[in-house]
Amino acid sequence: METKVYIDYLNPKQTLAKFNGTHHSECVCKLPVQIVCEKEYERLKSMAKLKDFDFSDEYKRKLLALQQHSDNLEVAEDRAHIIRNIRRIPFRWYVQKRTKDVLSIGYNSLYFQNQQVLQQIRNIAFNKNLKHILVDFEYSLMVIVNTIFKEVEIKGCWYQNDWGFRFWKKHFLALALIPIEFLQRGFQVIINQMPDQNDNIVKFIQYFINQWVNGKISPTIWNHQRTDKRRSNNDVEGFHSVVKKSSLKVRVAAICAQMRKTERQSIQTKNQESKTCEVNLTDGDRVQESVFESLVSGPFLITTNWLTESHIDFGLDFLESHFNDRFDLFGIRYWRTWQIQELISETIQVCLHPYSDQIFIVNTINHWILLTNIDPTKSPSDQNCEQTMDGKWFIYDSLNNSANVKTAKGIMQFLYPNQELHFVQNDKM
């Protein structure tokens, strides 16, 4: 009875097949042809100790012939199956720095143990027809390939291995350093020294002429023959890169996203309140209850939230929108304290009634105080009877800090520009 062996290529280092449960956990099942070839390979290694032994000739004469002789239909089918599954071998990826046995592949920041991978490829798939390997100029990879596949010819990429082409390509960089009046002559020298009539090289020359000679960017811009100072801004780009990675970078996109999120939440809240009001207007029994609930969840704040949100700013916006009527001369006038200097700079004539009640809410180092000419010890009728322009001014400060009185200096100079001394009373709270 023929015994079939099933190889799990997802985990080649562990047990790939078990015969009656007698195999060791580190056993790797191999094809019969592979076992014969490995025995011949070990025999050649033992013979390599002789001085007149030529490993390459012996390999071609015996081992390669043995592989070709054993390459029947069954082995070919197995090899096709192996090649399909070779991509499924789990490579161990690393992101640490390059070491002797770890190599960077391509331009990605991914690493794996190349020597182990190449050994797996050699052991599982013989690759008898492999003639040469084209690699980027990675010396570590060349050493590993030469160690595992000794008879394979290693070739580097032609555009890097051809030193004549590399030297010719650098001629274009020199055009920026020659006098601009010799630019046409220098470009003609480059054309005459073109190493090969390759289609890609011709396309590159056409691109250079259309983009950098006859294009929108004039040679007078990129020619630095007469430039005495810096020719690049690499140091500035490096500085900007550091700033972008630091906390000094203003995340405009994040700020805009947060503003849009806040605006959407505000609109949703207003829509919800509007819907609630529409429902409550049709149900008189629930109007008072709904108003009370909205007040509890709205303007009233608990002690932990007091002065931690922007409710004061919202309150000032509410006052400005409801009391600043341009055509109402006897109503309440409301100005933001930080707009006083703006009013002065714009030379807007501000008419303040000398006997009107005035209240200023002043911000001093993230703290709010109240400045008013309303005397708390007198009734409104007594204040109207005085009718004096030199009324008293009072400050109400929850911190009772006398230093905050200086904040009212700018407002007093705005109200009484002809006075040098101003008297303000700080009422303790």
Residues 183 and 223: their CA atoms lie apart, in Å, by: 9
Count up the domains in the chain and report the number: 3
Q: What's the length of the chain?
A: 429
The answer to whether the CB of 51 falls within 8 A of the CB of 61 is: no
Tell me what pLDDT residue 19 has. 36
Residues 346, 400 within the same domain:
yes
Tell me what pLDDT residue 405 has. 81
Tell me what pLDDT residue 8 has. 39
> Count of CB atoms within 10 A of residue 407's CB?
20
Residues 343, 420 within the same domain:
yes
Tell me what pLDDT residue 250 has. 66
Per-residue pLDDT of the chain (429 residues; tens, 9 = 90+): 333 333 333 343 443 333 344 444 444 556 666 777 777 777 777 776 666 666 666 666 776 666 666 655 555 555 556 555 544 444 333 333 334 333 333 333 333 455 666 666 666 555 455 677 777 767 777 777 777 777 777 776 665 556 777 788 888 888 888 888 888 888 888 888 887 777 888 888 889 888 888 887 788 888 888 877 777 777 777 777 777 776 666 677 777 888 888 877 776 676 665 555 444 445 454 444 433 333 333 444 444 444 444 556 666 666 666 665 655 555 556 665 555 556 555 544 455 555 677 788 777 777 788 888 887 777 655 555 544 445 678 888 888 888 888 877 777 777 777 777 777 887 776
Tell me what pLDDT residue 3 has. 36
CA torsion through residues 67, 70, 76, 80, sign: negative
Residues 401, 350 within the same domain:
yes
Q: Which domain holds residue 379?
A: 335-427
Residues 258, 227 within the same domain:
no
The answer to whether the CB of 139 falls within 8 A of the CB of 104 is: no
Residue 14 lies in a domain: no
Please state the pTM of the whole predicted model.
0.27
Residue 9 lies in a domain: no
Tell me what pLDDT residue 211 has. 87
Residue 80 lies in a domain: no
Residues 235 and 232: their CA atoms lie apart, in Å, by: 8
Residue 126 lies in a domain: no
Residues 209, 178 within the same domain:
yes
Residues 283, 358 within the same domain:
no
Residue 406 lies in a domain: yes
Residue 390 lies in a domain: yes
Residue 177, CA distances (Å) to 139, 222, 230, 257, 315 in order: 34, 9, 13, 47, 65
Residues 241, 256 within the same domain:
no
Residues 381, 421 within the same domain:
yes
